[in-house]
Structure 1
Amino acid sequence: MTTVLQYEQDDLGVVTLTLNHPETRNALTGTGIVEAMLDACHRIEHDPSVRAVIITASGPVFSSGGKIDEMQRQIGSGFGSDVLRQEYRQGIQRLPLAIHQIEVPTIAAVNGPAIGAGCDLACMCDLRIASEQATFAESFVKVGIVAGDGGAWFLPRVIGMARAAEMSFTGEAIDAKTALDWGMVSRVVPAADLLTTAQTLARKMAVNSPPAVRMTKRLLREGQTASLANLLELSAAYQAIAHKTPEHAKIVNDFMEAKAARQAARK
């Protein structure tokens, strides 16, 4: 049986999650990918050895979002609006909450088209790297529905309200270069270099103090909604914790020892 989500962890604690349902172009609904992602998020949150997460996909498409045959099922007479609302709440809407709660950095390595919920999945991550073949489309209106997975929350925070409105109201795709210009992605690389680039970046994060990285991510997230006064208060509390971590103590002690050695060598 094909594993719809591959889970791999390297020696530095970088986990790579690979969507693996190419026959549906890695559709999130109706494939088991959402359930597998939820299990992976739970595993990551309970494994202190994990230091960064990469989300990518097999095949030429990152994710096609929702399956049309699933939508056909949902318009059937047996599904009332309240049933469908609960289906969303207990289904795909659990995914943005789970990814958003991951304490370590998350990187979307977008290998190809990210469509609808696939685009939103990329935006759920802390940052995005795109291959030259990547495209992004908030295309829900093209099939007569809305972003039921939180896209209206994530997309404006990534590219700003005006550009998010343009993508959402037209449903048209943007290419990787436009995504870079708009700040949706931080890098565009050749397809052959995508995963290596994402892994190199993740490993640069993974070598830093895990408590400091986790608290830094939390501060960045809180800074999106908190007042400056409240964020400063939280920063002071986190800083007090950081100063007492063994990772910080080792860095400071190593620096002081090296400084003493340099001073001794000059005498």
Structure 2
Amino acid sequence: MTDFIRVEHADRITTVTLARADKKNAITQAMYAAMADAVNAYGTDDDARALMFIGEGDYFTSGNDLKDFAMAANGGADNDDLPPVIRFLHAIKDCRKPLIAAVNGPAIGVGLTLTLHCDLVYAAESATFAAPFVKLGLVPEAASSMLLPAAIGMAAASDVFMTGRILESHEALRMGLVSRVFADSDFASEARTLAATVAQAAPQAMRHTKALMRTQTDTIGEVMETEGKIFADQLRSPEFMESVSAMAQKRAAVHP
């Protein structure tokens, strides 16, 4: 278990905190492994009735740690095990119990796409959402190329993906990406109170309700696999290398 993921259990709620505040909670492969383990353990723990993701500090997450991902992509796998990010995506896709995203700040890249797999998404007023994949020479992941258009419509999803623009919390609420928005000062307590409401509900009825609303898990898995192959190829591409160099040098990327 990496120190950058903190897992706590209380009052039938499992809280998974992304705790890498000095790096804006950018997610590494080790963090994905820890989160996959936490979600899988939650799924088999009869005493745990709700799981809530939250970020430490001012960010939910700034997305994937691109240096860590580039090293993994270019180094290849050491064995036949699934990469940690794929294990995590399967864990949230297959989880039969309630998942809650408590978005306390900017949710960038996977910060946004993770919320599409959560049953409830609560946002602080200062929270923002963005999916700047094309700006990085990458493509959407976590089956978001299917889930986002289904959630907000093709035109709105194209605007989010193809421009990489930032959505404010109340716009995300109007779009249907967010369940509720709370004032920053009240956010932590409000999110916890609502998680407790979920945790106190009849567990079997809750599982059935989730299953009835999420009937396309096989299709989601297929889309994830297709996205994952293209994403991995793009991590090795000149487009990605130029995008990362431009970001480091604070200039516009040039794609001939």
Asked if the contact 2:17/2:53 (under 8 Å) is kept, the reply is yes
Is 1:23 the counterpart of 2:22 in the alignment?
yes
Structure 2 residue runs of 5 or longer lacking an equivalent are 220-256
Alignment of 1:202-213 (within 5 A): 202-213=195-206
Q: Distance in 2 between matches of 1:87 and 1:174?
A: 39
Considering only CA atoms, is the larger Rg found in Structure 1 or Structure 2? 1
Question: Normalized against structure 1, the TM-score is what?
Answer: 0.74
Residue 188 of structure 2: SS of its match in structure 1?
Answer: helix
User: Number of residues paired by the alignment?
Assistant: 218
Aligned partner letter, 2:204: P
Question: C-alpha deviations, 1:76-107, integer Å up to 9, x for none?
Answer: xx55xxx48x9996231222220122222111
Q: Does 1:134 align with 2:127?
A: yes
Structure scoring higher RCO (CA < 8 A, sep ≥ 6) equals 2
Distance in 1, Cα, partners of 2:40 & 2:180: 29
Q: 1:47 aligns with which of 45, 48, 56?
A: 45
The amino acid across from 1:25 in the alignment is K
The aligned counterpart of 2:237 is none
Name the SS for the 1:133 alignment partner.
Answer: coil
Task: Tell me what 1:8 maps to.
Answer: 8
Which deviations, in whole Å up to 9, do the C-alpha atoms of 1:141-199 show, x marking residues without a partner? 11111123332133223322221111001111111111011111011111222221122
The verdict on how the C-alpha distance between 1:36 and 1:27 changes in structure 2, with shifts beyond 3 A counting, is: same
**2-structure distance, mates of 1:129, 1:88:** 34
Give runs of aligned pairs for residues 1-267 of structure 1, distance below 5 A.
3-11=3-11, 13-30=12-29, 32-70=30-68, 72-73=70-71, 83=76, 90-222=83-215
% identical aligned pairs: 37
CA RMSD of aligned residues (A): 2.6
* CA shift digits 1:10-44 (9 cap, x unpaired): 22x111111111122111225x2101101101210
One-letter amino acid matched to 2:36:
L
Letter in 1 for 2:46: P
Quick one: structure 1 residues 149 and 208, their matched pair in 2 at CA, closer, same or farther if it must change by over 3 Å? closer
Aligned counterparts of 2:56 and 2:133: Cα–Cα separation in 1:
23
TM-score, normalised to structure 2, is: 0.77
SS of equivalent to 2:105: coil
- Cα distance change, pair 145–87 in 1 and its aligned pair in 2 (3 A): farther
Q: Deviations over 1:42-92 (max 9, x none)?
A: 2101101111111111011111112232355367xx55xxx48x9996231
